[in-house]
Amino acid sequence: MSHHHQAVASPDAHPASVRVGSQRVSHPDRVIDPSTGLTKLDLVRYYESVAELMLPHLQGRPVAQVRGPQGVRGPLFFQRHDAHADDEEAPLKISSADALLAAAQLNVIEFHTGNARFRTADKPDRIVFDLDPGEGAAWSQMQEGARLVRSMLQELGLQAWLKTSGGKGLHVVVPIASRWPADSLRAFSKAVVDHLAKTLPQRFVAKSGPRNRVGKIFIDYLRNGSAATTVAAFSARARPGLGVSIPVAWEQLPELTSGAHWTVQTAGDHLAVEKVDPWADYAGSRQSLGVAAKTLGLKFAPRSRSRA
């Protein structure tokens, strides 16, 4: 009998918890994505492997989290505030690898960030164009759509950076100087999207709603509202396949096969061989919108210093 007991405690038995970095991971072999068999441990290990790359995208910003205690097929909970803080409205912060892994241990699958940093809370430092394919829109249309958004921004004198969404779409991100309030940026991004939808109506729509979008690309400018968040670079997505949002160079766009081109399973290999960070220049880019806004016929001035 005792021999049989030993077998139960063998290394092959399901462990109650496993250490990943500083974190004890409970229920490590719980399957969170039945379509691939990926487990909670796979996800936590993924976040450990990308923590160094991901933290600069999380630090200093409000973070929102999507928790999936029963995996991607169960109920998903979107959480914006720190439940453990004294102040109920305290935003979630993630400033270390330990905090990232602790969140993953608490079944967080997705991490989203706001457009403004805490220190310039009322003045975002980026604009996000979220390209979302309507039903029947081919992937080649998405690739072309991203190029068209980029070239319009270039005509306005703005450089943009590209990442996969980890879902169906692509994100085109414009880093800017923290000078304008969110409502001005929302007006700016709406003007860009309206212009594209007006000049290329067979390709783009500016209105949401499935009926408007069939075969076309919806560009969501509401990602630039004051409380809006966007899934962060390197975050996984709470959907079958566990796609991840990965920064890419524009030159890589033709090679992409979907918004979930990389997944929790495959991203590590890609990042291990990538020699150059495609977003290397992103952090230092603080672009002015003054000229671009004027070109679009918008009148918005930076808030005057005296009122601050």
Q: What is the pLDDT of residue 301?
A: 59
Write out pLDDT tens, residues 281-295: 998 999 999 999 999
Alpha-carbon distance 93 to 85, whole Å? 11
Q: What is the pLDDT of residue 13?
A: 61
Q: What is the pLDDT of residue 12?
A: 55
* Residue among 62, 240, 66 nearest 166 (CA): 240
What pTM was estimated for this model as a whole?
0.91
> Please, are residues 178 and 116 in contact by the beta-carbon 8 Å criterion?
yes
Mean pLDDT of 26-41: 97
Instruction: Give the domains, in start order, of the chain with CATH numbers.
Output: 2-117 (3.90.920.10), 126-231+277-307 (3.90.920.10)
DSSP structural state of residue 252: G
Write out pLDDT tens, residues 145-156: 999 999 999 999
Alpha-carbon distance 279 to 161, whole Å? 7
Per-residue pLDDT for 92 more than 70? yes
Dig out the tokens for 45 from the structure.
């290990």
Residue 165 CB contacts under 8 Å (≥ 6 apart), including other chains: 130, 171, 231, 237, 243, 245, 259, 260
Q: What is the mean pLDDT of the chain?
A: 91
Q: What is the pLDDT of residue 9?
A: 47
Dig out the tokens for 227 from the structure.
């409380």
Strand partners, 19: 24
> Please, are residues 296 and 191 in contact by the beta-carbon 8 Å criterion?
yes
Per-residue pLDDT for 208 more than 90? no
More confidently predicted of 82 and 44: 44
Pairing state between β 38-39 and 77-79 = unpaired
Q: What is the pLDDT of residue 303?
A: 53
Per-residue pLDDT for 6 more than 50? no
165 burial class (0-12, 13-18, 19+ CB within 10 angstroms)?
buried
210 burial class (0-12, 13-18, 19+ CB within 10 angstroms)?
exposed
